[in-house]
Chains A and B, each alone.
Chain A
Amino acid sequence: MIQFDADQVVTDVRAAVSAVLGKDVATYRGYVDRQVKALAKQAKFIASGYATGDLDDDEVDYFLDGLERMAETFARTIRGLVLITIEKVWNAVVEVLHGAIRVALAPLGVAIPGV
């Protein structure tokens, strides 16, 4: 008789996904907060430097391009972080499902190697 507790598997998958998301969301929240503040600070710095004349036209142009580079890097980093999370969630789910099947088949003498 194969013992496969589907409810337990659902609970385990949910726990695995929550563990990954909980940790990653905390990391992303801190990163996004720091980046948004830094971008706002730099925008204010450029506007203020231009208004007071502390930055000349060439410097303003450079720092505006720099702001664009900072924003692009931020956006690309978020995409990269999300991909890492998708990978971790996917693999956590696969591991739980695979583990449940291995446990179910073990009493029948069927040995399945790990993921």
Chain B
Amino acid sequence: MHFLRALLIGLALCLQGCALQLAPTYDTKIIETLTEATVLAGTEFELLKAGAPASSFPQHEKSYAELIGKLGAAQTLAKIRPAARSSSLFVPAPLRALAKGDPPSILAMENMAITITRMSSDHQTRGLDPTSVQGFENEFETLMDSALTYERALNR
């Protein structure tokens, strides 16, 4: 009886240190910033879907800059939030290894910035044709889907 009681108390105290965190905390500001970037990008893709000559670049330059700025802001927010904290005593080494490194949404944001930078550069130097706009749009939307899916999943 006393042994069972001591065992259960020990187990309960042990379990208290077992709560696990393998991913960063949820941050609504990141979701909001990404959503704003989605709206900005959607507007640009719609305006440019028929293609655009290089001479029209100055009219879009500010939108490209705003979009890249939003993606940079989201990246900064994702990088500065507290990292996952787990009691290393109870977390198996393979899990600790898997949890190392930046969250995947940061990679998605970096890649979206590459897409918009290239689109902006093409627009400025040689203009955009409808085919390439379609390619940039699919690339951007696919990456944004990854970023938002991951960030929303952090709301656990």
Which residues of A are interface residues toward B (Cβ below 8 A)? 1-2, 4, 24, 27, 31, 34-35, 38-39, 41-42, 45-46, 49, 54-55, 59, 62-63, 66, 69-70, 72-74, 76-77, 79-81, 83-84, 86-88, 90-91, 94, 97-98, 101-102, 104-105, 108, 110, 112-113, 115
Contacts and interface: CB of A to CB of B under 8 A. Distances in A.
Nearest to A90: B20
B23 A101 contact: no
Interface residues of B, number: 45
Contact of B19 (A35, A49, A69, A115): A115
Nearest to B11: A101
B31 to A, nearest CB: 15
Contacts of B146: 31, 35, 73-74, 77
Interface stretch (B35-43, B55-63, B68-76, B132-140): B132-140
Contacts, number: 139
A49 B142 contact: no
B138 A101 contact: no
Given A42-B138, A94-B15, A115-B15, 19 more contacts: A2-B1, A2-B8, A35-B142, A46-B135, A54-B129, A54-B131, A55-B135, A66-B135, A66-B139, A69-B139, A73-B142, A73-B146, A76-B107, A77-B146, A77-B149, A80-B153, A83-B23, A104-B8, A115-B19
A87 B22 contact: yes
Contacts of B108: 73, 77
Nearest to B143: A73
Nearest to A89: B20
Contacts of B107: 72-73, 76
B132 A59 contact: yes
Interface string B115-143: 10010000000000101101100110111
Contact of A86 (B22, B142, B149): B22
Nearest to B146: A77
Interface string B19-58: 1111100000000000000000000000000000000000
A42 B1 CA distance: 66
A45 B134 contact: yes
A-B residue pairs, 3 tightest by C-beta: A76-B104, A38-B142, A54-B131
B2 to A, nearest CB: 10
A32 to B, nearest CB: 10
A35 B114 CA distance: 19
